[in-house]
Amino acid sequence: MDRNRRSFVLGAMALTFALPARARAAGVVAELTASTTTLRVGEEVELSLEVRREGSGAVPDPELPSGLADGFEVVSQYSSGSGFEIRIGGGRNSRTMHSSMSITAIALKPGTYKLSFDVDDAGDAVRSNIVEIVVEGTPEASLEAARPSTGKPDRARGDVFVWAATDKTQAWIGEQIEYRLDVYERSLLSSVALRTPPNFADFYSYDLPEGDGAVEEVAGVPYRVRPGMRRALFPQKAGTLVIGAPEITIGRRRRDRGAAVSIEVKPLPAAGQPAKFSPTTSGASP
C-alpha cells in the first residue's frame, strides 16, 4: 500500500470513529418533573430539572423554568452539579453525562402555570417537557395593597391562616392604636411560627398582654384562635401609614401572609398648641 493510500485509509477510519461520537454529543435531553401538579396558595412544590447527554461532551446547566416567577416565590435552589454514568451490559458500554438542579417554590396566587426550561447547547436551543401546575385558593395578602382592617375575619381561608387588624382606621398623631395578630386554625398545630413580624417603622410601640385563646366561627366554620401579638402603636407623622404584612410558617412546607394594614393619621390642630410643641412625645416608648 503506497503512502497516499495508507493516509486516506487512516483518515477514513478516524472519520468513522468520530461521527458516532458527534451524534451522541448532540443527543441532549432536558427533563422537568414536579412533586405535585395541584396545590393551594401558600403550599410548596419541589421541581427537579435535569439535562442529559448520551455519550461524552459538556452538558449545559439548567436554568429557572419560564413562567415560575408569574405565580411562585423561589425559597431554595441548589445544583447537584455535573456527573456521568456508565452502563455495562448487553455486549456494549454506554456513557451518559448529566447536570441537575432542585428548586423549592411557594405558590403565591391561583392559576394554571405551564412550566418548562431551555438550555443552550453550543448555539442549539433545547427545550424541556412542559409541566402544568394548577394552584387553587386566593392570592397572597402581600400581593394586595395595604388596606384598613378592623374587627374579625369574615371569610374562611383554609385550615390555617394569619389575621392582622387594628382597633381603629383613623387616629391623630400620637394617639394610641391597638394592633393585634391572631392565627386561626381548624386543628391545633404546634408548628406554627412567626416568620416575618409586622413592620412598625412609623410608630412608637410597646407590647400588650396577648390574652387567651378562643374558639370562633368564620363564615360558619369553627376555628381555634391563637393570639400571636398585641401591640400599642403611636403614629409619629400624618398621612397614610402602613403596618407591614406579617408572615407565618406552618410546619416545614407551608407559609401564609397576613394583610398589610393602613391607618389614616391626622395632624393635630395648630390652634392652641404651645411653642415648640412636639406631638410625638405622647408618653409612648420605642
Domain definitions of the chain by residue range? 27-136, 141-266
pTM above 0.85, yes or no: no
Contact between 215 and 207 under an 8 Å Cβ cutoff? The reply is no
CA–CA separation, 173 and 157 (whole Å): 34
Residue 182: pLDDT band with limits 50, 70, 90: very high
CA–CA separation, 98 and 59 (whole Å): 6
How confident is the model over 261-282, as pLDDT tens digits?
999 999 988 776 666 656 664 4
What mean pLDDT is reported for the chain?
A: 78
Minimal CA–CA distance to 149: which of 185, 179, 184, 108?
179
C-alpha cell at 125: 436551543
CA–CA separation, 114 and 65 (whole Å): 9
Residues 6+ apart with CB under 8 A from 158: 40, 42, 137
Domain range 27-136, CATH class: mainly beta
Q: How many CB atoms lie within 10 A of CB 89?
A: 7
Of 253 and 3, the structure prediction assigns the larger pLDDT to: 253
Rounded-to-10 torsion of CA 198, 202, 208, 212: -30
Residue 91: pLDDT band with limits 50, 70, 90: low
- Radius of gyration from C-alpha coordinates of the chain: 30
How much is the average pLDDT of 129-154?
A: 78
Rounded-to-10 torsion of CA 260, 46, 137, 144: 20
C-alpha cell at 153: 375575619
SS3 104: strand
Contact between 232 and 177 under an 8 Å Cβ cutoff? The reply is yes
SS3 154: coil
Burial of residue 179 (number of CB atoms within 10 Å: 0-12, 13-18, 19+): buried
Topology of domain 141-266, per CATH?
Answer: Immunoglobulin-like (2.60.40)
Contact between 55 and 21 under an 8 Å Cβ cutoff? The reply is yes
Check for a shared fold between 27-136 and 141-266.
Answer: yes
C-alpha cell at 272: 392652641
Predicted local distance difference test score (pLDDT) of residue 124: 83
How confident is the model over 254-263, as pLDDT tens digits?
778 888 899 9
Bridge partners (DSSP) of residue 265 are: 171, 239
DSSP structure class, residue 23: H
